[in-house]
Structure 1
């Protein structure tokens, strides 16, 4: 009987270990599931298409301004230190049930994202990724929020024909939580008379690396000098370089397609946070030496202030 008892005890121990293992697997799976945002689902990155292919953005611009579909990313730049740009967000745009596009933006407040009008003016839904570095993964630092068309604010002067006032805001029904990885951008308040010409600027984005290679998973940055509008007009002309535009040189590195809506910043002495002075609007063929154009934020501070929150009566 002793041998039978020992054998049964060994089987019992194995069974207990198996039950414990199953319990811990289920527990870990439950914890991971709770960490996922309620509306989050994996994106098929092979189905992401450049935003410019959807909106035919450059049909009215000079031929040289059309984006090159073979190189759609921050070109000539470098990967940034993870989470070193906590004001920058990416967001996925629902083009249709099968296809998704991507743009960049910056955090205005816990419920407002600043971006380009051409990224949101005709689409039903976006999913914002804040606090991310590798947006192909669900990182523990990330916060993901969804928003619908009714929550998009597009500047009334925006026109895809004249390419004017390319600025918009995405309002988030569920607020972001500010922490080390998610903070608002610093706007150029009090700097309205600055042109920033001659200053070293930084543009960041994830962008599309190519039609076959999909999005650039990690955040990249490029550094260029802010140009005077006079110098930019000499290259692009007055019809494109309006007073509401700020240009940067490229030196064959800078923003390109699908970096649209992202932030252009300049440092300020003694301040750890840079000042955002522009929003990625348009540029030349990726890798070109021609300047890139950004919406000049100092020209839109009043409009931003009027639209960076929900209208209590209307929402």
Structure 2
């Protein structure tokens, strides 16, 4: 028997040109503890025995969304986490099954989204809640944030949840290419891969995928706007 999970998702994927970076918050600040209760830390156990990390965000009691390139042999999911060094009361759960977008391209990161079905249903509380997804109403967000536990300017993973403010710019070039853009020396420059782009209405507008540095020390953050019905087959 095949069950279909249909989610209307506005996916904003960072531009996918070489060199591509994934995984850190640059110029971020610590968030108020548990003020982003939808945030998920993914501990990725790789085939070679290594551990790697990505972010994700909670959609409902059963599903987490992340980036498709955040693949792993198996996952440990942390919910209700703020400080990795203090895990009392943190919900830790495994992943039952992953549903990578069928159109994901590992070369250019197109359709870089993936759903993870958790092995147990999550019970919501003040530290664990889902995030609403953006509506397809034609509006263009301006002020957004990207939260995550990624690498900081010091080159180390952050123990506490950080976030960086991103202001989307008015760019005719980006508009013609169906993208949103921001530019500067702060942002998810090497991505907090799999985490959400959350804008002023408090809704998730996209999944962090990758970014491209610009000569001179700045970085161009280009968010490709894709409104689509994402269908995954659940067996």
Taking structure 2 as the reference length, what is the TM-score of the superposition? Answer: 0.82
Where in structure 2 are the equivalents of 1:32-111 lying within 5 Å? Answer: 62-63=17-18, 65-67=19-21, 73-96=24-47, 98-111=49-62
- Cα RMSD (Å): 2.7
1:264 aligns with 2:191: no
User: 1:264-312, CA deviations, whole angstroms, 9 ceiling, x for partnerless residues?
Assistant: 11122xxxxx01111101112499433224464x613x21xx44xx83x
User: For residues 112 and 64 of structure 2, what CA distance do their matches in structure 1 show?
Assistant: 14
SS in 1 for 2:36: coil
Greater relative contact order (Cα < 8 A, sep 6+): 2
Give the superposition deviation at 1:77. Answer: 1.2
**Of Structure 1 and Structure 2, which has the larger fraction of its residues in helix?**
1
The 5 A counterparts of 1:1-315 are 62-63=17-18, 65-67=19-21, 73-96=24-47, 98-120=49-71, 123-140=72-89, 142-148=90-96, 151-189=97-135, 191-196=136-141, 199-209=142-152, 214-228=156-170, 230-232=172-174, 238=177, 243=178, 246-257=179-190, 259-268=192-201, 274-285=202-213, 288-294=217-223, 296=225, 299-300=227-228, 302-303=229-230, 306-307=231-232, 311=234, 314=235
| Cα pair distance change 1:228/1:281, threshold 3 Å | farther
Provide runs of 4+ in structure 1 moved above 6 Å.
none
Local SS of the residue matching 1:264: strand
Matched residue of 2:174: which SS?
Answer: helix
Q: Is the 8 A contact 1:281 1:293 kept in 2?
A: no
1:232 alignment partner, SS class: helix
> Taking structure 1 as reference, are residues 143 and 267 closer, same or farther at Cα in structure 2, changes over 3 Å only?
same
**Relative to structure 1, is the Cα distance of residues 294 and 106 closer, same or farther in structure 2, using a 3 angstrom cutoff?**
farther
Distance 1:185 1:288, change over 3 A: farther
Q: Which has the larger Rg?
A: 1
Tell me if the contact between 1:281 and 1:294 (Cα under 8 Å) persists in the aligned partners. no
Separation (CA, whole Å) in 2 of partners of 1:217 and 1:267: 26
Secondary structure of 2:144's aligned partner: strand
Secondary structure (helix, strand or coil) at the match of 1:215 reads coil
What are the ranges of 5 or more consecutive residues in structure 1 without an aligned counterpart?
1-60, 269-273
